[in-house]
Amino acid sequence: MNQEYRYYLPMSELYGRLKREHETLVCMTRIYCRHHHPGDADADMCPECARLMKYAARRLEKCPYGTDKPTCANCPIHCYKPAQRETARQIMRFAGPRMTWRHPIRALNHLFDKFRKVKHPMEMRRAAREGAKETRPER
């Protein structure tokens, strides 16, 4: 398979809550990267962290919840691979407490988003099926 073809189409643009969540993760990654991966002062973040942010954007684009997505810690679906998930967890553990000083509004938004509750997609499908059965006329 032609490897260039796989990535020929550009990724769709994130919007709403998904965009805000990705921007929050980018801010956290910058805090983490500056402390753990010192290097070029002009660089935004190291190539490893930049790859993780591209991966996170792709995962957010494919999220089955869309704009109703809860925070990753409260999500019943784990869409990251184990290695990336552990890296993201380390980033959040380190940068989370520092977000209140560097990005207080983002930190508050993230805190409020933690209270968002969602059902697993399978539960939503079951409820939709049961609702469809109830509205079906009897024969």
pLDDT of 93: 93
Q: How far apart are CA 106 and CA 111, in angstroms?
A: 8
Tell me, what's the pLDDT at 4?
A: 42
Take residue 97 and report the two structure tokens written for it: 């407490």
Angle subtended at Cα 88 by Cα 82 and Cα 91, rounded to the nearest 5 degrees: 145
Question: Is 88 within 8 Å of 28 (Cβ atoms)?
Answer: no
Return the pLDDT at 3.
41
| CA atoms of 40 and 50, how far apart (whole Å) | 14
Please give the pLDDT value at position 87. 94
Half-sphere exposure of 135 (CA within 13 A, CB side): 6
pLDDT at 6: 37
Which pLDDT tens digits describe the chain residue by residue (139 residues)? 344 433 333 446 777 788 888 899 999 999 999 999 887 666 788 889 999 999 999 998 888 777 777 777 777 888 889 999 999 999 999 998 999 899 999 888 888 877 777 777 777 777 777 776 666 556 5
> CA 27 → CA 5, 13, 132, distances in Å?
31, 18, 44
Handedness of CA 89, 90, 96, 102 (dihedral sign): negative
Structure-block tokens of residue 49: 């962290």
| DSSP string computed for 72-120 | GGG-SS--S-HHHHHHHHHHHHHHHHHHHHH-HHHHHHHHHHTT-----
pLDDT for residue 9: 37
Q: What is the pLDDT of residue 79?
A: 84
